[in-house]
Amino acid sequence: MSTSQKVTAEKFVPVRASDIQLAQARISSEIAPTPLQYCPRLSEQTGCDVFLKREDLQGVRSYKIRGAFFAISNLSEEEKAAGIVTASAGNHAQGVAYACSTMGIKGKIFVPGPTPKQKRDRIMVHGGDMVELVVTGANFDEAAAAAHEDADARGATFIEPFDARDTVIGQGTVAAEIISQLSSQGRSLDTVIVPVGGGGLLSGVTSYLADMAPRTSIVGIEPAGAASLSAAFEADEPVTLDTVDPFVDGAAVKRIGQVPYTILDANRGRLHWDTVTEGAVSTELLELYQNEGIIAEPAGALSVTGLHKVNLRPGSTVVCIISGGNNDVLRYAEIMERSLVHRGLKHYFLVNFPQEPGQLRDFLANILGPDDDITLFEYLKRNNRETGAALVGIELGSAAGIDGLLERMEASRIDCRQLKPGTPEYDFLVA
């Protein structure tokens, strides 16, 4: 492990804008600036001038290449020769793979089982013969534990995805670009909204803006199913979450990094933070795709999702960082499903039909609304001659239609029970 990566809270050296500017100069030969695009739709919705920082347009489709490339470029020749190891939910791994291929370094990359196939394939495209991919563990933290064990056993150098000073410095170059791009338009940055997983990007952005734009409001947005920053601030130290929802895979981290936390805790007075549901993220993913033609991954849409929860001054300049675009097209069925449930358009019921002729016809004619549709119908069992239970999924014409649907169910002799998201029954039968 390099000296720059052996950073502890006790010996922590603050990250300054000058460190980030040096990193920007170091990586500029390999990593081109990404566009800062004005978004008319979100500007109209908020009454602000909203720009999208398109890190999804990086060569590896994520900002993660910045920290990975800078950290690896700082290794000694001996450390490079010993090989490198990393763990990642997918995006950091692509940055490491690219650096390995470019610098001629052997790398071993550990990713958890839920990592989308698209990300796994892209890791090998960028790394080629220079990297070995290992899929292990149910989440990032389990994959990271296996990676650390491997690095220790072989004497290889572990490249931290977020919990290292060099990685944070590299990620901070995103903020340096934003300030430069806005300055070229004669603008200053009022608010920046940043996705949060392990905290590397948020701490890098915060470090730069604390020196160069101290009046800027900094907002961190994390998924409700993996809110490690919120938990750390509540406990006044990093804590390990019991479970995480893997849907927002790029931010599904059980424990925020110690180095990012130290930076963010020191800047807590200039920070705002909040969580958004996975369903809300799904809705914004679809909005970005349908309106702006942006194929974001779930973590990449966190900032735009959080935009609607932030108290913004009308006319102010706001930047949302689209952190990544490594999304598997096979996931869009799940994304659509989560969005429909979030918007109140999709509901599930356990329906016990009396075993008499015409009961299904009665359900369709007298319970289902004229604009509603059955999207799932599955008999669960038939062990009773009186009733037959079915799992029924209904998509409403409008969210307001749920009240009428429930009233008609209550008035019917057909026994209907709504399944609520987050309950064991829902998770077992639907999720």
Question: Which residues are known to be catalytic?
Answer: 64, 323
**Angle at the Cα of 283 (from 292 to 326), degrees rounded to 5?**
65
Distance CA 352, CA 383 (A): 12
**Angle at the Cα of 309 (from 307 to 315), degrees rounded to 5?**
55
B/e letters for 399-419, b = 16+ CB within 10 Å, e = fewer, are eebbeebeebbeeeebebeeb
Farthest CA pair distance, the chain: 79
Identify the helix (H) or strand (E) that includes residue 112. none
For residue 172, what are the contacts with CB-CB under 8 A and spacing of at least 6?
15, 19, 20, 23, 203, 204, 205, 207, 208
The DSSP line for 317-347 is EEEEEE-B----GGGHHHHHHHHHHHTT-EE
For residue 86, what are the contacts with CB-CB under 8 A and spacing of at least 6?
68, 92, 93, 96, 107, 108, 109, 110, 147, 158, 159, 160, 161
Q: Read off the tokens for 272.
A: 């705002």
**Cα torsion angle, 72, 78, 83, 84, sign:** negative
Chain-centre distance for alpha carbon 17: 26
Q: What is the β-pairing status of strands 387-395 and 373-381?
A: antiparallel
The DSSP line for 151-218 is HHHHTPEE--SSSSHHHHHHHTHHHHHHHHHHHTTT----EEEEE-SSSHHHHHHHHHHHHH-TT-EE
Q: At what angle do helices 91-103 and 64-73 cross, to 10 degrees?
A: 40
Q: Token pair 């309106």 is at which residue?
A: 291
Alpha-carbon torsion, ordered 115, 117, 119, 122, to 10 deg:
150
Distance CA 309, CA 342 (A): 16
